[in-house]
Every structure is written in C-alpha cells, then in structure tokens.
Amino acid sequence: MEGGGISDSDPNKRPESVEISAGNLFTGDVTPYWKDDNEANVVFTSPEEANNGLSNGGWFAIGLIVAPLVVGIASFALVIGGESLLYEYDYDDEYQYDDVLTMSDEVSIDGRSYRVYDTDLYLSPDMYDDSEVMVMSQRYNCHLYDYPPEGEQWERMSCYSWTEGEADVYVRVVRDGGKISFAVDYSTDSDRPTEANLWQYTSPPSSSGLGELMLFLSGAIWPLALIAGLIWGFTRGNKYFAYGMLVSIVAVPAFCFISLVLLVAFTFGW
C-alpha cells in the first residue's frame, strides 16, 4: 500500500487513510467491528436471544406458568389479609328455647283483643348487640330480626301461615328482667303458640376500608398484571413472555369457558 499505509514498526497504530487500487482514496478512522473487553467477541446476536441469556421458549414458559403462579399467590394473600381485617372478631352468642308457653293475660292492640303468652326467654341487650326471636304454632311461624325495640311496646312479627288465614302475632320485652311475651290473635286452638326461641349474638365490627381495598385488589391484580406484562414484554422485554401470559390468563380460561358452554348446550340439547 502507498500513501499513509500501516507502518511495520508500529503494528498497533491505526491508519488515517487507506489507498486501494489506482486513484481511489478512502479517508477516516478505521474501527474494528468486534469488541474485546475480557468478554467473548460478539459480532451479532439477536436481541431476544441475548436478553438475560434465556431462549424464547424459556420466556414463553415464564409467562405461561411462573408469572400467573406469582400473581395467583399474591391474589390469595390479599384475600386472606382482607378477610382477616373484615371478619376476624371475637364471636359470642346465646340460644334459648322454650316449649311451655303459658297464657297470662289479654291485651287490646289497635282495637283488637289478643291473648298474652309468657315465656322463659330472657333478653340480655347489655351482653349482645342483636337478637332474633321466633314463635311457632300448629298454623304459623313468626319471627322478628334485629330485636329488641327501643321501648316496651308491642312489635308486630313477620309470620308465615301454611293454612287459610293470616297470623297476627306481636312480641314484647319487659325491660325489668328482659322477659319476652307474645300477643296472639286467638281464633282456634291451632293459633296457640307451642314453642319459641331466642338467639342473641355479637355483631361483627364495621368493615375496614383497608380490608375492602385488599379484597378489591385480589381480583383487580389479574388484569393489572396482564396489562403490565404485555407492556413490558412487547416494549422492553421479550415478546414471548407476553405471548405466554396471554395464553395462560386469557386463552386458557376462554377455552375452558367456551368448552363448558358447549358441553351444557350439547347436554341439554339447546
């Protein structure tokens, strides 16, 4: 070579220009296309193959199995934590039963005469938050929830009668001792109350805002994780990871749902 070729006395020196054949002169620095910095010489590598050294199949398996498994564990943990905040409390209740009701008096309610039956059921509002009381006869079944009322007045009960005619029954709590009595619109012997029960219990605490948020996130984490995985896979990561998540979280559930619908349709001949 002529005109600025590589000198034999300095083998590491790069030429500033190289002249090839007659009259053609190329100028500028000459840079090798390889890189040697104590690492393997790399001429060309596919970006997806060079991504953390995992193959496309490996990334697909991570998106198909590992990522949904991690999301499922996180969702389960949120459910457990949310329910513990909402429903974990010291539950306490008491059940009373009486099948010997005795008539003690007659009372007039709204211009109608009722027979009063006393029980051995005693309400304890100072020990429990809510109560439910029920009375039965041969003809009807009556109940009243969220008992007791604020005063010693007669409260109409909700009744279901399995014979002709409607049942008309009231209940009252005597505050002095908490004894429960019933007032019955007596027509026949089938109207006489034969048994009654009382259930008192402690109400759960008011729901926690954090617990409700955790339960909401336990379901919302699935679409959020899918969207985040797709964005990362198609923009900065490996697209086969995104394909794996699509198959696991979208395609497989959709296939199972469609298969179930078809099975039901074929079974019932729709």
Long-range Cβ pairs for the range 157-160 (8 Å, 24+): 157/133
| Beta-strand pair 179-184/24-27 | unpaired
Confidence grade of residue 207 (pLDDT, cut at 50, 70, 90): low
Half-sphere exposure of 125 (CA within 13 A, CB side): 14
Confidence of residue 172 (pLDDT cuts 50, 70, 90): confident
pTM for the whole thing?
0.46
Domain boundaries, the chain: 51-89+206-270, 93-201
pLDDT (average), residues 136-155: 80
Q: What is the pLDDT of residue 111?
A: 86
Average pLDDT, the chain: 79
| 218 — pLDDT class (breaks 50, 70, 90) | very high
pLDDT band, very low/low/confident/very high, at 40 (cuts 50, 70, 90): very low
pLDDT the model gives residue 261: 85
CA 201 to centroid of chain Cα atoms: 26
Over range 154-183, report the average pLDDT: 83
> Long-range contacts for 32-40 (Cβ within 8 Å, ≥24 apart)?
none
Q: CA-CA-CA-CA torsion for 246, 250, 256, 261, nearest 10 degrees?
A: -140
Contact assessment for residue 80 and residue 146, using Cβ atoms and an 8 Å cutoff: no
- 61-120 per-position pLDDT tens digit: 998 999 999 999 999 999 998 888 777 656 678 999 999 998 988 999 888 899 999 999
pLDDT of residue 71: 93
Judged on CB neighbours under 10 Å (0-12, 13-18, 19+), 240 is buried
Query: What local confidence, expressed as pLDDT, does residue 3 receive?
Result: 47
